[in-house]
C-alpha cells in the first residue's frame, strides 16, 4: 500500500517548525511562531512547484491535495487548545494582532481573485 504525499507533508511540516522556532528565537519569544502556518504555506508552494515541473504523477498529486486538505483541520484542532483566556488577560496584543491579521487577509481577497484563472463567477461579482 502506498501513501502519497506524506513525505512531502512531513518535510514541509518540519521545515515550518524550524522556521517558527527560529522566528521565536529572533523575537526572543519562548515558543514557536507560526510553524504550522509556515508548513502549510510550504506545502502549497512546494506542491505547486512540483506540479509545474512535472515531478509528480497524478496519484502523488492527489495525495498532496488530500493532505493539504487535512492540514487545515489539524491547524484548527491545534489552535483550539491554545489558552485564549490567558492571552487576552495578559494584554490586548493578542486581540489587536488577530483583528489586524484578519482584516489584512480580507483586504487581500480582491487582489488574489484578480489572479485567479476561474472567471466563471466574475460577472456576478462585478454587477
C-alpha 2/C-alpha 9 separation (Å) is 15
What is the per-residue pLDDT for 22? 92
Kindly state the average pLDDT of the residues 87-98: 69
Q: Which residue has the cell 501513501?
A: 3
* CA distances, 102 to each of 24, 98, 107, 108 (Å): 21, 6, 9, 10
What is the per-residue pLDDT for 19? 93
Q: 32-90 pLDDT, tens per residue?
A: 888 888 888 888 888 888 888 888 888 888 887 887 777 777 766 766 666 666 666 66
* CA distances, 81 to each of 41, 74, 86, 114 (Å): 22, 11, 12, 36
Neighbours of 62 (CB within 10 A): 13
Amino acid at each position: 500500500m502506498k501513501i502519497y504525499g506524506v513525505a512531502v507533508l512531513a518535510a514541509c511540516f518540519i521545515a515550518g517548525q524550524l522556521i517558527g522556532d527560529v522566528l521565536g528565537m529572533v523575537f526572543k519569544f519562548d515558543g514557536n511562531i507560526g510553524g504550522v502556518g509556515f508548513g502549510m504555506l510550504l506545502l502549497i508552494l512546494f506542491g505547486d512547484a512540483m506540479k509545474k515541473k512535472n515531478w509528480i504523477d497524478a496519484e502523488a498529486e492527489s495525495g498532496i491535495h488530500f493532505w493539504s486538505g487535512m492540514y487545515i483541520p489539524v491547524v484548527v484542532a491545534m489552535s483550539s487548545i491554545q489558552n485564549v483566556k490567558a492571552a487576552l488577560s495578559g494584554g490586548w496584543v493578542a486581540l489587536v494582532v488577530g483583528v489586524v491579521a484578519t482584516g489584512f487577509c480580507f483586504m487581500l481577497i480582491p487582489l488574489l481573485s484578480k489572479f485567479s484563472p476561474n472567471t466563471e463567477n466574475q460577472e456576478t461579482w462585478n454587477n
